Structure 1
Amino acid sequence: MTFSLGPRAASAGYRIAAFDSIGSTNAEALMRARAGETGPIWLATTEQTAGRGRRQRAWVSPRGNLASSILEVIDTSPAVAATLSFAAGLALEAALQTVSLEARMRSPGSENATFHLKWPNDVLAGGKKLAGILLEAETVAHDRLAVVVGIGTNVVAAPEGIPYPAVSLRDLGIDIGAADLFRALTEAWVEFRQIWDGGRGFGDIRRLWLDRAAGVGQAVSVRSGASTISGLFDTIDEDGCLIVATSDGKRMAVSAGDVYFGAAASIGAT
């Protein structure tokens, strides 16, 4: 399969390294950053054999799915860089809308899928996990920050035997290839990366993200280690933390955790 950048991404100076198969695009990107690569460069494959998600969980990516990472070396703090994951979610949602529309134009009977962003780093379709985002960063030469945003999408297959339901684009009747989605993603990334603007535009990113968010105003339970916070999903704050309105009138800011919405919130709280 041949990967290519969209025209806007190519003209903006992005580059690409494509692989038939690789252990982890994020790990490869960080290795290149340590060796002096400054980006911006995309790494992409349709088969990832040692992918990982948050908290070092395995990310299963069989051949035909899309595993991609964008590496940029920037001058910002880790806290500000972390908010780039919200821009990544917006870029992926926009790319999914694009390829979904293209698929419907080719096959008029195709399903009209709806995508939502789940805090902190998932994209859902029909309430099931379609994609995940993992941002990693480390300091490299001259005290600059190498930021890698890994984006994994279930194009042809979704993992089974996991604690949450997952879905693929093929399951949704969206007949596109990983290369088609990647090209659309590189185009959308340019747009939302520019809005983010080194963190200065996070207010706009936050507003756009909330417009597409799953579960706002719904019951939510956030589990982090042995601790669980339950209440209503109120908003995300200026740092990207999830704000939970608890039954005793408090507004709790959560920076990390596993999120359960609606009926599943009571399960997550047990």
Structure 2
Amino acid sequence: MTFTLGSKARSAGYGLAAFDQIGSTNAEAMSRARDGERGPVWFVTTEQTAGRGRRQRAWIAPRGNLASSILEVMDVSPGVAATLGFAAGLSLERALQKLSIEANLRRAGAGPLRYALKWPNDVMADGQKLAGILLEAEAVAGNRLAVVVGIGTNVIAAPEGTPTPATSLAALGVQIGAEELFAALSDAWVEFHGIWDNGRGFADIRKLWLERAFGLGERVAIQTGAATVEGTFDTIDESGCLIVRTAEGKRAAVTAGEVYFGAAASVGAA
């Protein structure tokens, strides 16, 4: 198979740049934006050799995994652009749900997969990390903002030694190819990007995200630099911050950090 856009993405005018192998789809997308590309356009590969996750961690996609980045150039502030990551999580979750229904029925002795969205940027499957999302933005000519949303999905293999245990679709018994997943993702992106509507629809995105939130109502510990915030995952607010209800009953807003739930919260807080 080769990469193709879904029918909705083609109708919406999205472009596509597919690579047999590339260092980083995010880096390529931002380089094109600096050179004048205004998108919207997808950059995809099944083999990424120099990808990055949050906090500059390596995100290597061996052949068969899906590394995809969408470039959108828009008239929004960086703070508003940051909320687009929640629409990305919803897009991937929708694509996975759509493609997994029949595959789940063929998982011998196993029930349907449960996908969930872990703040701020992970997609989980059966409690393990299946995908990560990295959003980057730069100002470009015309006082506009080039926003690149990278979505890396473990299709055939998962990295080891990650802070959150990782898995792949293949390990879970779901036989979906990277090309098939990308076509569904590109169509789902059209839907949720439209709902997001340059940030004007984030209230709707927030509601949909919370319905799929991993660890909502559970014990959580967030490492933010040298400090650790502990309590219960209460919600996310109107700007996408994680709201923790502490043992004292106070509500603390967290903008970034390493998040640990349940039993792992004790380890993360140690």
Contact kept, 8 Å, 1:66 with 1:182, in 2: the verdict is yes
Contact kept, 8 Å, 2:136 with 2:149, in 1: the verdict is yes
Matched to 2:85, the amino acid is S
Contact kept, 8 Å, 1:242 with 1:255, in 2: the verdict is yes
Partner of 1:151: 151
Matched, 1:74 2:70: no
- Please report how far the alpha carbon of residue 60 of structure 1 lies from its aligned counterpart in structure 2 after TM superposition: 2.2
Matched, 1:49 2:43: no
Matched, 1:178 2:178: yes
Partner of 2:258: 258
Partner of 1:237: 237
Task: State how far apart, in whole Å, the 2-side matches of 1:151 and 1:228 are.
Answer: 28
Percent identity between matched residues is: 69
- Please report how far the alpha carbon of residue 18 of structure 1 lies from its aligned counterpart in structure 2 after TM superposition: 0.1
Matched, 1:123 2:123: yes
TM-score normalized by the length of structure 1: 0.97
Count, aligned residues: 269
CA deviation vs aligned residue, 1:195-245 (integer Å, no higher than 9, x gap): 000000000000000000011110000001111100000000000000000
Task: State how far apart, in whole Å, the 1-side matches of 2:16 and 2:99 are.
Answer: 20
Task: State how far apart, in whole Å, the 2-side matches of 1:54 and 1:163 are.
Answer: 12
Task: State how far apart, in whole Å, the 2-side matches of 1:186 and 1:207 are.
Answer: 22
SS at match of 1:239: coil
- Please report how far the alpha carbon of residue 127 of structure 1 lies from its aligned counterpart in structure 2 after TM superposition: 1.0
Task: State how far apart, in whole Å, the 1-side matches of 2:199 and 2:164 are.
Answer: 32
Matched, 1:166 2:166: yes
Moved over 2 A (4+): 102-105, 107-111, 161-164
- Please report how far the alpha carbon of residue 72 of structure 1 lies from its aligned counterpart in structure 2 after TM superposition: 0.6
Matched, 1:135 2:135: yes
Task: State how far apart, in whole Å, the 2-side matches of 1:13 and 1:163 are.
Answer: 38
SS at match of 1:88: helix
Partner of 2:33: 33
1:12-27 to 2 correspondences below 5 Å: 12-27=12-27
Contact kept, 8 Å, 1:114 with 1:125, in 2: the verdict is yes
Task: State how far apart, in whole Å, the 1-side matches of 2:50 and 2:38 are.
Answer: 24
Partner of 1:246: 246
- Please report how far the alpha carbon of residue 102 of structure 1 lies from its aligned counterpart in structure 2 after TM superposition: 3.8
Contact kept, 8 Å, 1:223 with 1:268, in 2: the verdict is yes
- Please report how far the alpha carbon of residue 176 of structure 1 lies from its aligned counterpart in structure 2 after TM superposition: 1.0
| RMSD of equivalent CA atoms | 1.1
Contact kept, 8 Å, 1:111 with 1:172, in 2: the verdict is no
- Please report how far the alpha carbon of residue 55 of structure 1 lies from its aligned counterpart in structure 2 after TM superposition: 1.1
SS at match of 1:206: helix
CA deviation vs aligned residue, 1:143-193 (integer Å, no higher than 9, x gap): 100000000000000111333210000011100100010000001000000
Task: State how far apart, in whole Å, the 2-side matches of 1:217 and 1:112 are.
Answer: 23
Contact kept, 8 Å, 2:66 with 2:152, in 1: the verdict is yes
Contact kept, 8 Å, 1:236 with 1:242, in 2: the verdict is yes
